[in-house]
Structure 1
Amino acid sequence: MDPFEVRMQFLSLMRRLNASQPSIQKVVGYALKYFSRCGEDLWDCIIEECQKGSINHRINILYFLDSLCEACLQAKTHPSSIGYDGSSTNFYVDFVAQDLAKIVENVVPEGRQGLPNLSSTKQILSNWRNKRVIDPQKVDEVITTLNSRKSAEEEAPASTEAPSASSRLSKTDIFRRIEEDRERHKRLREKRWVQPVSHNPQSHLPPQLASFLPLTDDGDGEEELTLDIEFENEWETTSDWNEDDDDAVGEENVLCFPGEGEKPMDLS
């Protein structure tokens, strides 16, 4: 197919995109297959659909991008498998990083219209930050922008206008949104317990015990181990030792080492 036919067929797939994994993976596979021939053109199609699609369609595009980034990082170790002979590329991940603010602005437009997509968008952004899919600092900037917006409670008293016809959803659209939200949230729960996508070119080697793995840090970039990434994420979200921790330890000591006349804790 010539580039025009590739673009038109890709647009057709994008417009039929829904929350199901078969639908998402079909578009992901097509995008990777034609990356070497017209990757930039296909990315323009994605941005175009993200700008003019319905609010429900836009969140589907963001979930598609989540799967696309994951597939790109996995394909990075075997670029020839998708017909690309470049030595260093993140495929569409670089495009996502470049246009991240624009994408989020379209998926979560300001005002009440964007509220249905706000929570899911934040979850995906947090996932990209924690797994180092995109530069954490860049993701933090976008999340900060979202957090700075007014909440629905703040907007409600100031707005007395009725929703426009274009923003009202039919009963069918509402039920479709509920079903697709279930599918999307199921996918997020599944991925929450999966280790970060491996950026390590040695990932094809058999797994080793953690005690035999080399120490890495942020400065190692793509060489940083997923185990260290997970540890850093947990370390950053753990609070400092405080009085509540002292009280908890004291209560545990009382249960394990009771005073005179009291029975010890049953550890069986």
Structure 2
Amino acid sequence: MDEIDPFEARLLFSNMLDNLTGAQPTIDRVSAFAIKNHKLADDLFECIQEKLERFPIPPRLNVLLVLDGILASSSRSTSTQLALQAWKPLISKDLSSLVHKIAPEASAGNSNVLQAHKIVSNWQRKKLFDKAELDKLSRMLAKRVGDVSGSHSISASESGMRHQDILKRIEEDRERHKRHKEDAWIRPANESPKDELCAYWETVSDFNDADWQEISADNETYQLERSY
């Protein structure tokens, strides 16, 4: 089978990125193209960098999901190890820049922070990249997640997203969370108990005001029951 022409590959990949959404089938399709054409990873990665410069902030998260899909799919079988060898150094070299472009300090970047933190934490657990850099990025994103959660909910105007886009993002996040929980049951045979615990910990939702209110209500109920 003839290999695809580099120019044609860039054209096709660029078009796929332009039509990329947060829906898992589209993410899987773009990831599969990148894995299949891993010999052209340099050209395709340049497309990704160009799109991150041009895309509005909220849709940039979809590009991070594609990169995560490439790394996850490439590491699942021996036949795709060549794809991992091609893509991993490119992502590693530009890791910090990628994360900051996808979840910038601007208020619009706050809408991408939570998912970006989950993905970086997952890479951290899998030890995919330099530990020090992943630790630094994870701490930075965790702080921003805490700041956003502790201040107020993100409005449509702040996020740069329309109301219907926000609802769509919520549904897509739920679907990803469901898939993440399903994947969590598949554990490597040589995984340590600590790594397994960290993997399950990532599936636990953040502690928020609603949890405090529930605890307070339970305490009040307990005190009333004891008074009788």
TM-score, normalised by the number of residues in structure 1: 0.61
Tell me the amino acid that sits aligned with residue 67 of structure 1: G
Pick from 67, 70, 73: which aligns with 2:72? 70
- Supply the RMSD in Å over aligned alpha carbons: 3.0
Check the 8 A contact 1:72/1:91 in 2, yes or no: no
How far does residue 124 in structure 1 lie from its aligned partner after superposition? 1.1
**Partner residue in 1 for 2:168:** 176
How far does residue 109 in structure 1 lie from its aligned partner after superposition? 0.7
Check the 8 A contact 2:58/2:161 in 1, yes or no: no
How far does residue 55 in structure 1 lie from its aligned partner after superposition? 2.9
Alignment of 1:173-252 (within 5 A): 173-195=165-187, 226-233=188-195
How far does residue 51 in structure 1 lie from its aligned partner after superposition? 2.9
Pick from 32, 39, 42: which aligns with 2:41? 39
Check the 8 A contact 2:124/2:134 in 1, yes or no: yes
Q: Which moved more, 1:6-15 or 1:65-74?
A: 65-74
Distance 2:104 2:68 in 1: 19
Check the 8 A contact 2:58/2:160 in 1, yes or no: no
DSSP 3-state at the match of 2:191: helix
**Partner residue in 2 for 1:139:** 134
Check the 8 A contact 2:61/2:112 in 1, yes or no: yes
**Partner residue in 1 for 2:213:** none
Structure 1 residues without counterparts, runs of 5 or longer: 157-162, 196-225, 238-268
Distance 1:236 1:174 in 2: 29
Identity %: 30
> Higher Cα Rg: structure 1 or 2?
1
Distance 1:235 1:189 in 2: 13
**Partner residue in 1 for 2:101:** 106
How far does residue 234 in structure 1 lie from its aligned partner after superposition? 5.3
Distance 1:187 1:235 in 2: 18
Structure 2 residues without counterparts, runs of 5 or longer: 200-228
Tell me the amino acid that sits aligned with residue 68 of structure 1: I
Bigger fraction of residues in helix: 2
Pick from 87, 105, 110: which aligns with 1:115? 110
How far does residue 153 in structure 1 lie from its aligned partner after superposition? 7.7
**Partner residue in 1 for 2:223:** none
Distance 1:194 1:118 in 2: 26
Check the 8 A contact 1:58/1:107 in 2, yes or no: yes
TM-score, normalised by the number of residues in structure 2: 0.71
Check the 8 A contact 1:10/1:27 in 2, yes or no: yes
DSSP 3-state at the match of 1:169: coil
| Cα distance per residue 1:40-97 (max 9 Å; x no partner) | 010111122223223332111111111100122235x2259x8x8xxxx622122122
